[in-house]
Structure 1
Amino acid sequence: MIEGIIIKGIGGFYYVKTQDKVYECKARGLFREDNIIPLIGDRVKIRINEEDGSGYIEEIMERKSQLIRPPVSNVTQAIIIMSIKKPDINLWLLDRLIVLAEHQRLNIGICINKIDLVQEDERNLIEKAYRETGYPIIKTSCKTGEGIVDLIDLLKNQVTVFAGPSGVGKSSLLNRIKPGLELKTGDVSKKTTRGRHTTRHVELIDLDGNSFVLDTPGFSSLSLDFIEREEELSKYFKEIDEFNGKCKFINCIHFKEPGCEVKKQVEKGNISRERYENYLMFLEEIKANRRY
């Protein structure tokens, strides 16, 4: 059998990239009986039909990670892409995507796209707000090419999911990263100021044989129902988690408790107020989820 990786799945067919070529494959009925669905990103073993050159997926190797939305496996890194304008940057959604990626224990990078649309001081405001997170922050422009080389370096030897809302330029960035890809891109609706979806299916894009990127449909919202207790939320905010255990009360959730070190750090400017306010909104959502 030959080993490969599923790069695309359409209409019951799975396209498996091996060292030599891409094979159109079907999955064995055994997987259906065991309620196992092959996912994009799965490392698999296939058997080739000598008559027509098609393949059958015989084995799915153990998954190192699995995302539900988008449904992919073995991702090692999430690059969260936001445009600074057209549409305006959505820090609430950025933090929500960070929480999901942290929950999946992925490496995280932040890409602020369309920076050619704003002045330098506005670019720096975003970078300042997220500096204490420790995540790499890359500022890019598909128009000028700024930051593209830095983004390519961040993608090397990783299986990366590009996450972010529609219209922020995910497909445009991929076209820049891999010339000739010619992914369809879309403009932002003037009426709603939101992006139009241009990616209709999940596909693993091979950059150099060792580096892959998933171009995925844009996100609009994400549920936090995987967080069962309020105390868990802070571990998904790295700069807040740093001060866990330093508050007056051991079980402090950094909300209204007296002697909270996190609130002190917010006042000192060591933790972004915008990030902290998003933390509080997520906290209220988790509390509300527990009531149902």
Structure 2
Amino acid sequence: MPEGRIVKALSGFYYVDNGEQVIQCRARGLFKKKDARVTPLVGDWVVYDTVSEAEGYVMEVGERTTELVRPPVANVDAAVLVFSMRTPSFSSALLDKFLVHTETAGIEAVIALSKADLADQAELDEICQKYRQIGYRVIPTSTQDKRGLEEIRQALASHIAVFAGQSGVGKSSLINALFPHARLQTGQVSHKLGRGRHTTRHVELIPLEKGSYVADTPGFSSLDFVDLTELDLAQAFREFNSYADECKFRGCLHLREPGCAVQAAVENELIDAERYEHYKQFAEELKEYQRRNKPW
């Protein structure tokens, strides 16, 4: 049976790209049962059966390397986190929460600072230095003066990449500037609310050169800590990991434990204090989430 990749899921249909054409498929009934172990996602490599030249049924879903919950995309190996410098203003707390999401999913993050032409150079430099020291690739971008666009293209080469970030930061505009054939819908930022209107209604993979894809995803401004443990959260802050082995207690969560090397690193300004404050905030949010979602 033929194979291909799901590039769009909409209204119960899965659109499978086999390299020559896109086949409109429905999922077989076995995927719709309550005890089904897997549900097809955009990004899945699937086996399908044809009923005509343009229609078929998804029969099998291949093994996934990664899986995102929100946005629901499989086999992504790079995430471009788009955060604007202005309208809406840059939010380090929200960026750190997105980074927890990508770290936990095992996806390499590229931070794109959009609307960089509206920011002070000193402010840009400070943000870039902070996250580059941790080990992230940070690229200031602008669709107005075209800065950073070629660097983003290079970062996406040979990857299945997802674009994510809160509404109004310019994800669709950035993708349109990078890949003009995409022609994604863009939206205005609400001056009353200070955030953007949702312009992307579904997840869709846009084919690029040499088998690469990029996904534009629905904008969202918050992430729940679904299926995350306290230790998962601690390990998602990658700068903690080089100090964690020196902690007095195994499995240290770096909050109130005595002999914690991470807390000492924060006090000695070896770990960014703001990032650590965000970690403590997320730990409280996780505790509250777990309390509200107990299975009993």
Q: Do both proteins adopt the same fold according to a TM-score greater than 0.5, normalized to the shorter chain?
A: yes
Displacement of 1:120 in angstroms is 0.8
Residues 203-251 of structure 1: CA distance to partner in whole angstroms, max 9, x if unpaired? 111111421111111121111242233x442210011121102234445
Query: 2:183 maps to which residue?
Result: 182
Matched, 1:237 2:237: yes
Displacement of 1:45 in angstroms is 1.8
Name the SS of the counterpart of 1:242 in structure 2: helix
Q: Structure 1 residue aligned with 2:45, among 43, 49, 52?
A: 43
Q: 1:91 to 1:200 in 2, by over 3 A?
A: same
Please say if residues 85 and 114 of structure 1, whose CA atoms lie closer than 8 Å, have aligned partners that are also in contact. Answer: yes
Matched, 1:7 2:7: yes
Please say if residues 63 and 74 of structure 1, whose CA atoms lie closer than 8 Å, have aligned partners that are also in contact. Answer: yes
Query: 2:29 maps to which residue?
Result: 29
Please say if residues 104 and 232 of structure 2, whose CA atoms lie closer than 8 Å, have aligned partners that are also in contact. Answer: no
Q: Which amino acid aligns with 1:272?
A: D
Query: 1:90 maps to which residue?
Result: 91
Displacement of 1:161 in angstroms is 1.3
Please say if residues 112 and 139 of structure 1, whose CA atoms lie closer than 8 Å, have aligned partners that are also in contact. Answer: yes
Q: Note the residue ranges of structure 2 that are not aligned, 5 or more in a row.
A: none
Question: Equivalences for 1:89-128 in 2 at 5 Å?
Answer: 89-128=90-129
Name the SS of the counterpart of 1:153 in structure 2: helix
Q: Which amino acid aligns with 1:184?
A: Q
Task: Work out the CA distance in 2 between the residues paired with 1:8 and 1:160.
Answer: 14
Name the SS of the counterpart of 2:190 in structure 1: coil
Q: Which amino acid aligns with 2:220?
A: F
Please say if residues 129 and 274 of structure 1, whose CA atoms lie closer than 8 Å, have aligned partners that are also in contact. Answer: no
* TM-score normalised by length of structure 1: 0.92
Query: 2:229 maps to which residue?
Result: 228
Q: 1:96 to 1:180 in 2, by over 3 A?
A: same
Please say if residues 203 and 218 of structure 2, whose CA atoms lie closer than 8 Å, have aligned partners that are also in contact. Answer: yes
Q: 1:87 to 1:149 in 2, by over 3 A?
A: same
Please say if residues 172 and 185 of structure 2, whose CA atoms lie closer than 8 Å, have aligned partners that are also in contact. Answer: yes
Displacement of 1:143 in angstroms is 0.9
Q: Which amino acid aligns with 2:285?
A: E
Displacement of 1:5 in angstroms is 0.5
Displacement of 1:59 in angstroms is 2.1
Task: Work out the CA distance in 2 between the residues paired with 1:269 and 1:55.
Answer: 58
Q: 1:274 to 1:254 in 2, by over 3 A?
A: same
Q: Which amino acid aligns with 1:282?
A: F
Displacement of 1:27 in angstroms is 2.0
Matched, 1:130 2:131: yes
Task: Work out the CA distance in 2 between the residues paired with 1:251 and 1:5.
Answer: 40
Query: 2:270 maps to which residue?
Result: 270
* TM-score normalised by length of structure 2: 0.91
Task: Work out the CA distance in 2 between the residues paired with 1:63 and 1:20.
Answer: 23
Task: Work out the CA distance in 2 between the residues paired with 1:102 and 1:232.
Answer: 9
Task: Work out the CA distance in 1 between the residues paired with 2:257 and 2:66.
Answer: 36
Aligned residues: 290
Q: Note the residue ranges of structure 1 that are not aligned, 5 or more in a row.
A: none
Name the SS of the counterpart of 1:121 in structure 2: helix
Q: 1:5 to 1:250 in 2, by over 3 A?
A: closer
